[in-house]
Structure 1
Amino acid sequence: MSSDLSGSSDPRGPGVKLFARHPALVARDLIGMTLTVNGVGGVIVETEAYHHEDPASHAFNGPTPRNAAMFGPIGRAYVYRSYGLHWCLNVVCGETPGSAVLIRALEPTAGIEIMRARRGTEALGLLCAGPGRLCQALAVTRAQDSAPLDEAPFELKPSMQDIEIVVGPRIGLTKGVETPWRFGLAGSRFLSRPFPKG
């Protein structure tokens, strides 16, 4: 599966054909793409979608200083701190404001030694398996909130091969628990958590 990041001549800018859709579609199509921050990163192997009408979404109750990026231009980063501990990286998307896709895990492919130093571990499978680990490995913080994903320090490249995607419920929620908007690269050993069988 390959996705066009060019946006053609759309005045809304690069990536609009990818990002100006329902977040579940965007989340699925991000699987297999390569994401780097200052040249460090890898292949996206796990995502979760959050629609603005989804009770589990940060945007469900409207704009706040924390979620302002979700109501801004699509194709930008929304970065928030989870439980006061870990940064989480999302891609702002949707046909209307307030939707985003959480990047849950990467397969490390670029800058692996840098990621190991940042994470304090040699274990390849633990570098980017989970949104908090991913942000630590890529040095993503609130400083990147609202930054466009088609400009430095970010780079997002489309997948050049067909892939198989698995689908399941999202993780760690108290609302919208059964909504099947978690997507993963089938067979990947870099997922944050296995998908349910069947």
Structure 2
Amino acid sequence: MGVFGDSLDKATASTFTRPLPKSARSQMRFLVKAAKGTKAAAERLGISQRTVERYLKGQIKQPRKELAARLATEVRKDWQPRVRERAKRRAATTGGIVIETRARFGFTAAPGTTDDARIRLITQHLPPAYAARLFEAQAAGASDRQLQDIAAEGLQEIYFKDHGRRAEGLTVEFTDIDYVELDF
């Protein structure tokens, strides 16, 4: 996925109430249970079913670096699904989402007027409606560009137009993203 998708996943992971399993064996055990079998777990990790079985028996204790990263990523995807969904639901209905970004913002306003794009550091709370749209788009498999457009629209309406109180007709271009962090 891209910058926005990863940021949404990271924000969701920060809502966990229990830490991820630490050892490779306990992570593998959880993944096998979540995937409903060693074969499915092996396919998700791109390794053989026999290797998964050796982790479960404790014959292999330290995975290679890239396998350890894939294992942690796969476990994180399935860890505490109800806690994750509850946090998303709360953000989409009452809490909203906070976006912190450093990116290039350019503007097109009334006919004939423009503002050259420049790098800005913005931290802004977006209302629940934008959080709901981001989560729905991510669940529907939206591209990172589509997620970025939703966030750009939210920043345009809330930050630059101040809830419609100024800069009517302003259109914001959100490009050259240095980083994006989301929290809810």
TM-score for both structures, normalised by structure 2: 0.24
TM-score for both structures, normalised by structure 1: 0.23
Greater percentage in strand: 1
Greater percentage in helix: 2
Question: Which has the higher Rg, Structure 1 or Structure 2?
Answer: 2
